[in-house]
């Protein structure tokens, strides 16, 4: 059994509070409709889908920020789908998440040192400040960043702090939810190559969620395409790019912006 994460028949619905009647329960929106897949140890899986496909909901369910309505999530053989927050706590250091918008996911009134050391202290990691410095080095930020606040850094630097916080715990599994979509193209490339290197160095298993196939192509071994809450494609990257089966995949492929350089470009 080398599957680190196994999802079977995952359903998730959330109450739609906008349409809640005066008396009684709000109607529920069905977001994930029976999702099955597994991620093997050491694998980098890209999860793509257009907006409203449920990919961010899936990301939050994988780290149990949301509780599935039906189906199971097995992490390293253990069923975590309905564990209470207290029961999850010791497991939490093994699966981490990097969020889309670091401006929101980094506490604006904490320093970078506090942001990275916070989770370490929670799990009684020895020498949290050493580990914090290691993590800063690993993401290519100097020690001088330790005393800065998030608003004193650029977008790319902030997202590196988000990555440093996740890897400092030395987790087995990381979910990265649209982590480059808020960055400019050159920072995107830098953050991606950083992530590529870290995954290789630390032997991480990664679920990389994005709406952009061109970002995924470079990083992932396997691609899962999500459309309206169901998986429409789950295949090795090359196969998805060469022979896309689902219409949703073809649509996503068509939306990749390719630089069209004319023959006379050099002149």
Positions touching another protein (CB under 8 A) are 60, 63, 65, 85, 88-90, 92-93, 96-97, 99-101, 104-111, 118-119, 122-123, 149, 151-152, 165, 169
* Residue closer to another protein, measured from CB, 7 or 120: 120
What is the nearest approach in angstroms of another protein to the Cβ of residue 74?
A: 18
* Residue closer to another protein, measured from CB, 133 or 165: 165
What is the nearest approach in angstroms of another protein to the Cβ of residue 264?
A: 42
d(CA 148, CA 189) in angstroms, rounded, equals: 24
What is the nearest approach in angstroms of another protein to the Cβ of residue 217?
A: 27
Q: Which residue has the tokens 């396997």?
A: 222
As to burial, measured by CB atoms within 10 angstroms (0-12 exposed, 13-18 middle, 19+ buried), residue 125 is: middle
DSSP strand pairing (44-48 vs 205-210): parallel
* Residue closer to another protein, measured from CB, 179 or 240: 179
What is the nearest approach in angstroms of another protein to the Cβ of residue 245?
A: 34
* Residue closer to another protein, measured from CB, 174 or 213: 174
Identify the CA nearest to 95 among candidates 12, 1, 170, 45: 170
What is the nearest approach in angstroms of another protein to the Cβ of residue 103?
A: 9
DSSP strand pairing (205-210 vs 173-177): parallel
What is the nearest approach in angstroms of another protein to the Cβ of residue 61?
A: 12
* Residue closer to another protein, measured from CB, 166 or 219: 166
What is the nearest approach in angstroms of another protein to the Cβ of residue 215?
A: 20
* Residue closer to another protein, measured from CB, 207 or 213: 207
* Residue closer to another protein, measured from CB, 133 or 158: 158
Say how many residues make up the chain: 267
Contacts of residue 141, Cβ cutoff 8 Å, sequence gap at least 6 = 112, 157, 160, 161, 164
């Amino acid at each position: 059994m080398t599957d680190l994460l196994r999802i079977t028949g995952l359903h998730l619905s959330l109450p739609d509070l906008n349409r809640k009647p005066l008396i009684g329960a709000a109607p529920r929106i069905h977001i994930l409709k029976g999702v099955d897949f597994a991620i093997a140890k050491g694998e980098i899986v890209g999860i793509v889908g257009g907006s409203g496909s449920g990919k961010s909901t899936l990301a939050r369910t994988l780290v149990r920020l949301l509780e599935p309505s039906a189906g199971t999530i097995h992490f390293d053989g253990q069923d975590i789908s309905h564990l209470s927050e207290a029961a999850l706590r010791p497991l939490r250091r093994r699966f981490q998440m990097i969020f889309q918008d670091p401006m929101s996911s980094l506490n604006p009134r904490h320093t970078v040192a506090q942001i990275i050391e916070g989770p370490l202290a929670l799990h009684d990691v020895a020498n949290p400040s050493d580990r914090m410095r290691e993590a800063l080095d690993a993401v290519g930020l100097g020690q001088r960043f330790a005393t800065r606040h998030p608003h004193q850094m650029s977008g790319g630097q902030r997202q590196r702090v988000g990555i440093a916080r996740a890897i400092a715990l030395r987790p087995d599994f990381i979910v990265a939810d649209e982590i480059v979509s808020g960055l400019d193209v050159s920072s995107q490339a830098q953050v991606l190559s950083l992530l590529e290197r870290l995954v290789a160095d630390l032997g991480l298993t990664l679920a990389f969620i994005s709406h952009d196939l061109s970002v995924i192509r470079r990083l992932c071994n396997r691609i899962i395409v999500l459309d309206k809450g169901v998986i429409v494609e789950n295949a090795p990257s090359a196969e998805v790019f060469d022979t896309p089966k689902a219409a949703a995949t073809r649509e996503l492929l068509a939306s990749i912006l390719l630089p069209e350089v004319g023959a006379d470009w050099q002149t």
